[in-house]
Chain A
Amino acid sequence: MAGSDPAVRAAPVAPDTVKILIAGGFGVGKTTMVGSVSEIVPLRTEEPLTAAGLDVDDLTGIEEKAATTVALDFGRITISERLVLYLFGTPGQQRFWFMWNDLAVGALGAVVLIDVRRPEASFAAVDFFERRDIPFVVGVNGFHGQHPYPPDEIRESLALPEHVPVLLCDARERESSRDVLIALLDRLIAEAGAAAR
């Protein structure tokens, strides 16, 4: 009978993988959001860096060149046996933003997280995705669950066009983080659908 011979094991089929970036300024809740929707505790890899080729100005704050590492954390959502979604929290510190270029390659899109108390920390992140034409949604992380500004006011201050969704969220809450991701997918689906017509 087919499959009864233990020596003939079916090779495990590798799932297709896709990724979404969770971006934003330093300490805005990126890792928290990854962790709240991921099925695994966010994993972390540390990449050692040398500072070769850096402008002297960029070295401010990098005391131990050899010991400098950039951390990348990520989570996983198994969509089906055949499809797995990875979420990558981009490194927040601006001197590591060169990594965003690599990370953005092949991403479906991005969530730009904003700390409601200091939106300017994520301005550059909005610029990054806007410039590269990478679809994104804005998640406004209301630390302590406070949302003093309505989405439209936030959209205006960020000078965002109508088609960029702005969502109030709590990065610590699974449903809330999931809804931000769903808003991104809805935007992607709407755009792909419009282009296909």
Chain B
Amino acid sequence: MWAHRPPPASEVSGSDAAGRLVRPFALTGGRTRPSRADFTLITTVTAVDPPPERASRPQPEQTRILRRCRRPVAVAELAALLDLPVSVVVIMLCDLLEAGLITAHPPHPVSRTPELDLDLLQKVRDGLGRL
């Protein structure tokens, strides 16, 4: 027979603020807007085409990113494709957004208050049903 799940004791170690591992790039700091918070893993970014005239010439690594987001691509995918940590990609995306070289599209808002969007859920459900 199975082991039984004991009643939850204290918070899972390492899962909360107290013993938090710090991501190295979180400390880069000094930036005002746009901020890292504008980019979640599933925020999609798209290169502005053609780039705005006032834009300065992108750096080589920025060009690499721009090439990857000619079509909309999620931040997590971009990081995986470029083989770079998400935190590094996000810092570069901040610069690109500020320079007007990309647009960012936030994820579909998910709020449980009052309730999740039924229409959205039904669409996802139907899509899975077609798999």
Contacts and interface: CB of A to CB of B under 8 A. Distances in A.
Contact of B21 (A53, A189, A191, A192): A53
A86 B76 contact: yes
B16 A98 contact: yes
Contacts of A5: none
A94 B76 contact: no
A77 B41 contact: no
Interface residues of B, number: 64
B110 to A, nearest CB: 5
A147 interface: no
A79 B123 contact: yes
Given A49-B21, A74-B76, A79-B123, A106 B5 contact: no
Chain A, interface size category, equals: 35 or more
Nearest to A187: B121
A4 interface: no
A119 B3 contact: yes
A97 interface: yes
A108 B121 CA distance: 9
Interface in A88-146: 88, 94-98, 100-101, 103, 105-108, 119-120, 123-124, 126-128, 130-131, 133
A3 interface: no
A45 B76 contact: yes
Contact of B46 (A12, A86, A107, A178): A12
A47 B85 contact: yes
19 contacts: A14-B103, A15-B105, A45-B76, A45-B80, A50-B23, A55-B18, A76-B77, A77-B131, A85-B128, A97-B14, A97-B15, A98-B16, A101-B15, A108-B121, A119-B3, A123-B3, A185-B124, A185-B125, A196-B115
Interface of A: 9, 11-19, 37, 43-55, 57-58, 69-70, 72, 74, 76-80, 83-86, 88, 94-98, 100-101, 103, 105-108, 119-120, 123-124, 126-128, 130-131, 133, 149, 153-154, 157-159, 174, 178, 181-182, 185-186, 188-189, 191-193, 195-196
Q: Which 5 pairs show the lowest CB-CB distances between chains A and B?
A: A79-B127, A14-B105, A43-B80, A195-B115, A14-B72
